[in-house]
Amino acid sequence: MNYNFSKDIKSIRELLNLSQSEFANQLGVDRITISRSELGKTEPSPKLLESVYAYSFNKKIKINKLKEMFWRDDLGKNSKLLFHGAKGEIIGNIDVHHGRNNNDFGQGFYTGESYEQAISFVSGFNNSSVYYLSFDDKDLKCKRYEVDQEWMMTIAYYRGTLDEYKNHPKIQALVKESRDCDYIIAPIADNRMFQIINSFIAGELTDEQCKHCLAATNLGMQYIFISEMAASQVKIVERCYISANEREYYKNIRLEETKLGDDKVKLAKRQYRGQGRYIDEILE
């Protein structure tokens, strides 16, 4: 799917209250370039894409956030708006078999609940973009997780740190439960959070300490589509271009949130020391 550039460039220009000529002068291009772009008569060059969206973001016009608001307004009664941060472009249909086996819940198509959430995970990639998706959950089976022992141990299994216990009946039951559904709703676990889970698996933290440390680094919820039936009910509605200055903006926000989360983790480790059980006690 291409970017909705013709609509975006016209919206940006009108929000800035500029004529086509004035906008062209600001961008250093010919007026005819703006005119043909707004009419959708030409495909924008990478340089023009970056110029328009970067200029817009510098002028405090967050066109992608505005589009998120409109998509939410237009959602059907049973539909949800979800977001997928992509390092490049999605080619073809959504594929639940694409991706690594050692993601949080193994193979599947991963999405989040907000634009900021999606962009934060791909802000370090130059050609990244964010996809907006509508999802209808009719007749689908959902497995929902919270920040608890079940969630921590399931993620540890899929990320490959529970090999010592992988044949334990409790672990096998967790794995079966995680696949007996069409899609999963669960807290997001980034690499920083996984390091905390890994400390629990290594016997350095109790389950209670780990749970509170992870709760301190809340990143929101993710939707993981496991079955082909679930994937068929996910529709891409928009692909959003991310300019370099917008990527940098959200990267800095995430760095600030990371620092705050790290401080909360330190306090949680001390506050809940001695509470809960260690991994070998749980799987004895």
Q: Where are the alpha helices (DSSP H) in the chain?
A: 5-15, 20-27, 31-39, 46-58, 63-73, 115-120, 149-158, 169-179, 191-201, 207-215, 228-232, 244-271, 279-282
Residue 40 in this model has a pLDDT that exceeds 80: yes
Spatial CA neighbour of 229 closest among 182, 179, 166, 279: 182
pLDDT of residue 2: 86
pLDDT of residue 21: 96
The β-bridge partners of 143 are 184
pTM: 0.89
1-61 architecture in CATH?
A: Orthogonal Bundle (1.10)
pLDDT of residue 216: 67
CA distances from 194 to 22, 59, 120 (A): 50, 37, 17
pLDDT of residue 237: 93
- Average pLDDT score over the chain: 89
Identify which of 13-27, 165-179, 251-265 has the greatest average pLDDT.
13-27
Q: Distance between CA atoms of 234 and 238, rounded to whole angstroms?
A: 12
Q: Distance between CA atoms of 121 and 208, rounded to whole angstroms?
A: 27
Confidence grade of residue 192 (pLDDT, cut at 50, 70, 90): confident
pLDDT of residue 260: 67
pLDDT of residue 212: 82
**Mean pLDDT, residues 25-31:** 95
Residue 142 in this model has a pLDDT that exceeds 90: yes
Residue 144 in this model has a pLDDT that exceeds 90: yes
Confidence grade of residue 19 (pLDDT, cut at 50, 70, 90): very high
Confidence grade of residue 92 (pLDDT, cut at 50, 70, 90): confident
Q: For the chain, where do the domains classified as CATH 1.10.260.40 start and end?
A: 1-61
Lowest mean pLDDT among 16-30, 170-184, 260-274: 260-274
Tell me what percent of the residues of the chain surpass a pLDDT of 70. Answer: 97
Q: Distance between CA atoms of 254 and 259, rounded to whole angstroms?
A: 9
Q: Distance between CA atoms of 72 and 115, rounded to whole angstroms?
A: 12
Higher pLDDT, 272 or 81: 81
How many helices, marked H, and strands, marked E, lie in the chain?
A: 13, 7
